[in-house]
Amino acid sequence: MSDRVYIFDTTLRDGEQSPGASMNTGEKLRLATQLEKLGVDTIEAGFPAASEGDFEAVSRIAGKIERAEIAGLARASKSDIDKAWGAVQHAAKPKIHTFIATSDIHLEYKLKMTRDQVLQAAIEAVRYAKSHTPTVEFSAEDGSRSDPDFLCKIFEAAIEAGATVVNLPDTVGYAIPAEFSELVKYVMAHTPNMGKAILSVHCHNDLGLATANTLAAIHAGARQAEVTINGIGERAGNTSLEEVVMTLHTRPNYLPMETGIRTEHIYPSSRLVSMITGMMVQPNKAIVGANAFAHEAGIHQDGVLKNPMTYEIMKPETVGLNRNIMVLGKHSGRHALRDRLKEMGYDLSAEELQLVFGKFKELADKKKHVVDEDLEVIVTEGILRTSEVFKLEYIHVTCGSTVMPMASVKLAINGRSVKDAAYGNGPIDAAFNAIAELTGAQSELLRFSVSALTGGTDAQGEVTVRLKENGLMALGKGADPDIITASAKAYINGLNRLEYLKTHPVEKAQHV
């Protein structure tokens, strides 16, 4: 049995199905580039049949990525498979991932099909996908709640039809590790031609067991793990890439298997996903959380100082937490900035560098040192965002214990300057009221959160908002040393994303 575990990353497909985590094409391209640098074996770039925007993003990723397989998701239908192939056909390593539900509850209530009909649909889908590309994956949606013998039967048929990977998903996060391990063993033992394909698992985290179930499946013989960065995904999320990879890396005595992941790129990848989606990583998150390598208790600190392995089972540097000692400030030039951005993975054109350099100088005049997190914000806001209908030109706020908070705001709306003032319960509320008046926004503010990008009193404040309007949800992000300005930027960014969604509707894919 192979000691290699293949990493199938679905951050761009299943991860994007996290409420409010939609990404535009530029952001998807940037993340796909980082995933290739991380060393994942397969990038599931999207669901091409879901929307023209998804098709375009998958197609552009397929044309750019050279080493990783690029997979397009497709239901078990010729039209979906044609769309998927149309998007991935230019990839160096194209892959079609087709699926159909196999549990009795899905067959009865969702598909209205019999087992024989599902079996035939799976065979036809795999065979048709195989006519386009030699690399085909078949998934049995809701596999963990399916009859084990029917799973074996449909996997046998899919492999016979040409599937090179068969996937057993725990679609609704229902499985228990010991139970899932036994199911994997049963399927491997009772699928006669399983030796001709790789068995994959795709687990959801509804009971907080996605990583545990995935590792149990690997121990039982599965050799592909379907994961997302930071564990983002539908509902409670997916199996976390960093948790699976670092468990295999840290515990080879129990799980003697390797991946192709370059672990030093784990933290930068985590940070990029957080920056793009606006979904902040909880401080106590394993591997990539802010507290993952922090020690406050005196006895822990004493032990770590004497030997880090007393309380750290991994070195922070292993996941990319080592810090570059180069300090950028207002006296730094384009060359130093360009080199630092290249080290961070941003290979910018001359025009993009000029734009970023201007914003860098503006920030350097406000704070003494500009760190990597600051540069990420500059690049993300300056280059990777959707086109701006609304742009902040000016904000002035008066507030205090003896005055009514009031904000004066000047915006450019499609290039035309407008201004207004409004009162509020506080300075941020006043700013939001003024912006809403100017833009005619009818959106509901669902979430407002503030965090500091770095330590120090001159740290940039990062604000994330979630807005909802007529069933559409969008995240907005803004950063600035002034927290009120950061809040205004975040609100405007969210409104711009809502405007983008109104003209580029994203139909969410069915999830595996």
pLDDT tens by residue, 288-319:
988 888 755 555 556 656 777 777 788 888 99
Structure confidence at residue 383 (pLDDT)? 64
Is pLDDT of 508 > 60?
no
Q: Is residue 261 part of a domain?
A: yes
**Mean pLDDT lowest for which of 184-193, 220-229, 352-361, 370-379?**
370-379
Phi, psi of 262 (to 5 degrees): -90, 95
Instruction: Classify residue 236: in a domain, yes or no.
Output: yes
Q: Is 345 left (phi over 0), alpha (psi -120 to 50) or beta?
A: left
pLDDT per position as a tens digit, 41-92:
999 999 999 989 899 999 999 999 999 999 999 999 999 999 999 999 999 9
In a domain, residue 232? The reply is yes
CA–CA distances in Å: residue 168 to residues 197, 218, 263, 468: 13, 12, 26, 35
Per-residue pLDDT of 440-458, as tens digits, reads: 999 999 889 887 766 666 6
Same domain? 376 vs 397: no
Indicate if 268 and 340 belong to the same structural domain: no
Domain residues for the domain of 101 are 6-277
1 part of a folded domain: no
Q: Is the domain of 42 the same as that of 122? A: yes
Same domain, 180 and 252: yes
Question: If DSSP codes are grouped into helix, strand and coil, which group holds residue 161?
Answer: helix
Q: Are residues 97 and 184 in the same domain?
A: yes
Least confident of 158-162, 228-232, 471-475: 471-475
The confidence score (pLDDT) of residue 458 equals: 66
Contact 260, 37 (CB under 8 A): no
Q: Which of 247-261, 390-404, 467-481 has the lowest mean pLDDT?
A: 467-481
Domain match, 243 and 348 both: no
Cα(424)–Cα(406) distance, integer angstroms:
6
In terms of domains, do 231 and 86 share one? yes
Average pLDDT value for the chain = 89
Say whether pLDDT at 164 is over 50: yes
Q: 365, 382, 399: which is the final residue of a domain?
A: 382
Confidence band (pLDDT; 50, 70, 90) for 23? confident
Quick: pLDDT tens for 415-434: 999 999 999 999 999 999 99
With contact defined as beta carbons under 8 Å apart, do 508 and 52 qualify?
Answer: no
CATH number at residue 483: 3.30.160.270
Give pLDDT, residue 384.
56
Q: Give the pLDDT score at 346.
A: 73
pTM to 2 decimal places:
0.82
* One domain for residues 356 and 422: no
- Domain closes at, from 246, 277, 308: 277
Q: Does a structural domain hold residue 305?
A: no
- Contact between 216 and 224 (Cβ < 8 Å): no
CA distance 242 to 231: 8
**In whole angstroms, what is the distance from residue 227 CA to residue 32 CA?**
14
Q: Write the CATH number for 16.
A: 3.20.20.70
258, 277, 296 - which closes a domain: 277
Domain identity same for 224 and 352: no
Report the alpha-carbon distance of residue 388 to residue 413 in Å, rounded. Answer: 8
Strand partners, 95: 71
Are residue 424 and residue 499 in the same domain, yes or no? yes
Going from the C-alpha of 276 to that of each of 12, 14, 20, 283, 386, the distances in angstroms are 11, 15, 11, 18, 11
Look at the alpha carbons of 347, 352, 354, 360 in this order and tell me if their dihedral is positive or negative.
Answer: negative
User: What's the mean pLDDT in 397-415?
Assistant: 94
End-to-end C-alpha distance for the chain, whole angstroms: 27
Residues in Cβ contact with 376 at an 8 Å cutoff, skipping those fewer than 6 apart = 271, 272, 275, 344
Whether 110 and 153 map to the same domain: the answer is: yes
Across 5-9, 204-208, 249-253, 348-352, least confident range: 348-352
Most confident segment among 16-20, 147-151, 322-326, 448-452: 147-151
404 in a structural domain: yes
* pLDDT band at residue 360 under the 50/70/90 scheme: confident
**pLDDT tens for each residue of 251-260:** 999 999 999 9
Distance CA 260, CA 265 (A): 12
Contacts (Cβ under 8 Å, ≥6 apart) of 199: 165, 166, 167, 168, 184, 187, 188, 221, 222, 223, 224
My answer on whether 341 and 421 are in the same domain is: no
* 184 CB neighbour count, 10 Å cutoff: 23
Higher local confidence (pLDDT), 458 or 353: 353
Structure tokens at 171: 């679609």
- Domain annotation covers residue 65: yes
Residue 310 lies in a domain: no
Q: Is-contact 42 95, C-beta < 8 A?
A: yes
Q: How many domains does the chain have?
A: 3
